[in-house]
Structure 1
Amino acid sequence: MSTGAAILIVAATFLAMEGVAWSSHKYVMHGFGWCWHRDHHEPHDKVLETNDRYALVGAAMSIAAFALGSPLVMGAKAWAPGTEIGLGILLYGIVYSLIHDGLVHQRYFHWVPRKGYARRLVQAHRLHHATIGKEGGVSFGFVFARDPAVLKQELKAQRERGIAVLREAVGD
């Protein structure tokens, strides 16, 4: 495989992982997997959350792709793009951890962005946490954030339709 093709597969996988993360967050974590995700939405003073199990699921996906792409593991049946896909998943996991756990939830470092895209990410995820329980909500992605003003309008409409219960007035 050429270097260009390998880079393209890694980049495409990274971008696709935002779709995987968005859909699994909306339909699994806020659906049948709420039992693992609930403590992420509730105040606590624990270092680890039950929700952190989802990081292990992502790591398992990456490891499985690396294994499928490894001639050492699979022999002649190695799947050519497996290593690049595993790398794309791994890179997404690192960026996710830095943005979501580090920047947004301040688990690793304390920096509150005052402007730019980093601020938009923080605002969007705080709006995600503006609801009580698993119903309703906005901003299920992790790396790409929509305009917070639009998200506030969506939350307001959900509240008016009785879909979402908000923690408090949604502000900036």
Structure 2
Amino acid sequence: MISFLIFLGVFLFMECVTWLTHKYIMHGLMWYFHADHHQPKYAHTFERNDIFFIIFAIPSIVLFYFGVEGGMNYLFFIALGITSYGFCYFMIHDVLIHQRFKWFKNTKNKYLIGLRKAHKVHHKHLGKEHGECFGMLFVPFKYYKI
């Protein structure tokens, strides 16, 4: 039971990490890597912004390594929470919202439509200033209205 609570707590905490990182790191210090994500799309498969997938994967890999060394411990479940959030982020952000893969084009789900609307508002700003809606799984309720 404690393993599940660690996993769930880390998964939910990652939304806070994402919001803070997106607002203060991606739209701040590391804007160079995130800027192309806010520009009109070209025929490129990858963007500089994809470096963040690697950056966020490193702690998970390290935690998985130390979490299974000598038997499974709490570090494994922390890594599992981070990795699961990363998978959800990929599915929501890259598949559903930006349609980098054409898997869920015609959803009628109000929650998913709300996430898409909030992200569209985030992308109306082409520069790093005046951003809004930095989260991924939790966005203001006003975006869920149809």
CA apart distance, 1:67: 1.9
- 1:135 partner SS: coil
Q: For residues 73 and 139 of structure 2, what CA distance do their matches in structure 1 show? A: 33
Contact 1:127 1:148 in 2 (8 A): no
Offset of 1:79 from its aligned partner?
Answer: 8.8
Amino acid at match of 2:141: D
How big is the shift at 1:132? Answer: 2.2
- Counterpart CA distance in 2 for 1:115 and 1:125 is 16
Amino acid at match of 1:27: Y
1:50 maps to which of 32, 42, 48: 48
Larger C-alpha radius of gyration, 1 or 2? Answer: 1
The number of residue pairs the alignment matches comes to 143
CA distance in 1, matches of 2:22, 2:119: 12
SS at match of 1:17: helix
CA-to-partner distance for each residue in 1:103-131, whole Å, 9 max, x for gaps? Answer: 00001125143451010000000000011
Q: Is the contact made by 1:123 and 1:148 (CA closer than 8 Å) also made in structure 2?
A: no
Could you tell me which residue of structure 2 aligns to residue 14 of structure 1? Answer: 11
Q: How far 1:148 sits from its partner (Å)? A: 4.1
Which of 31, 36, 39 in structure 2 is aligned with 1:34?
31
CA drift of 1:133 comes to 0.3
Q: Which amino acid aligns with 1:62?
A: S
After TM superposition, the structure 1 = structure 2 runs for residues 1-172 of structure 1, keeping only pairs within 5 Å, are: 4-43=1-40, 44-72=42-70, 80-110=73-103, 111-148=105-142
Higher relative contact order (CA 8 A, sep 6+): 2
How far, CA to CA, are the matches of 2:142 and 2:126 in structure 1?
18
Structure 1 position 58, deviation (Å): 1.1
- Percentage identity across paired residues of the two chains: 39
Letter in 2 for 1:52: D
Give the aligned CA root-mean-square deviation in angstroms.
2.0
Residue range with higher mean Cα deviation, 60-69 or 96-105: 60-69
Give me the TM-score of the superposition, normalised by structure 2.
Answer: 0.90
Q: Structure 1 regions of 5+ residues with no counterpart?
A: 73-77, 150-171
| 1:80/1:12 CA distance change after superposition, 3 Å | same
